[in-house]
Amino acid sequence: MIALDSLDLVDATRIVAAALAEDLAGAGDLTSNALVAERRRGRGDFVARADGVMAGAPVVELVYRTLHADVTWEWFAEGCAFRRGARLGTVEGPSGLLLTGERVALNLLQRLCGVATLTRRYVDELAGTGVTLLDTRKTTPGLRRLERYAVRVGGGHNHRMGLYDRVLIKDNHLALAGAPSEAVRTAKTQCPGISIEVEVTTVEGFLDACRAYPDWVLLDNMGLAALCRCVELRNAMPSPRPHLEASGGVTLETVRDVASTGVDAVSVGALTHAAPWVDIALEMTP
């Protein structure tokens, strides 16, 4: 089962604390404090108003732990598909605190379910191809680890987390560093032991990059014929051969055709930058 790892949990704790501080601003929940008796307990059901894939229950739990609420809960398992009208989870505890955490909990839950849901649609399109679906750094500032957690829940895979854990030489780097092969050689010298990937946009650029033996080549915005040609050339090379990642404008309608060219992975920025939120409500009962 997919779960928050230790670094995800650190980020989730920071995100939840900041979101609650933004909502409460030191004054607290004026409405709930005025209208709900402190000792009153109730139940809240998280109900789906659209179809989707479950992601984010541990984050909702963290919201209520941060509020020091004595809460119990039951949840849909992470990664399970649900239909409109499904009860995704139930929380029981102090009614006032359930309401205080409602908006922060829903904002995060709806966002993460949205990312997982769109990711699952891409994964379903790739079924049987053996091609890996990757995310990108096109994430909401401050929410990267949680959004990428949701990608994993949806069945996708995480690419580099940031600028610090992988060398990815892109077009603007090449504008300053020279030809792809030259840039790869320099990066290998400066970053020994680190995975090196270089972006190219033409078959000629691909052949030049391969002269320096990168670990990965990112085939950016290439047509299907060019992708097939790069795969053919790569497969004819002696080892070590680079892994091939296709990227650039890939949609649900085109992802399977891109995968059919024989690339190893397809990266899709839309998983995180264009995923619509899944509509979910919290329905309270005494």
Catalytic entry in 29, 61, 135, 199? 199
Please state whether 56 falls in left (phi above 0), alpha (psi between -120 and 50) or beta. Answer: left
* Maximum distance among all Cα pairs of the chain, rounded to whole angstroms: 73
Helix 144-154 to helix 102-125 angle (10° resolution) is 50
Note if 170 is an active site residue.
yes
Residue 188 a catalytic site member: no
What one-letter code names the amino acid at 238?
A: P
Q: What is the C-alpha to C-alpha distance for residues 95 and 65, in angstroms, rounded to an integer? A: 14
Catalytic residue among 40, 65, 170, 211: 170
Q: How far from chain centre, in Å, is Cα 247?
A: 16
CB burial of 15-54 (b: ≥16 within 10 Å; e: otherwise) equals: bbeebbeeeeeeeebeebeeebeeeeebebbbbbebebbb
Q: Which of the following is catalytic: 138, 160, 188, 241?
A: 138
CB 41 within 8 A of CB 80: no
Angle at 75 between CA 72 and CA 76, to 5 degrees: 175
Is 234 considered catalytic here?
A: no
Active-site pick, 147, 220, 245, 264:
220
Closest CA relative to residue 267, chosen from 148, 159, 154: 159
Q: Is 171 a catalytic residue?
A: no
Q: Among 41, 87, 103, 160, which one carries the catalytic annotation?
A: 103
208 belongs to the catalytic site:
no
Catalytic residues: 103, 138, 170, 199, 220
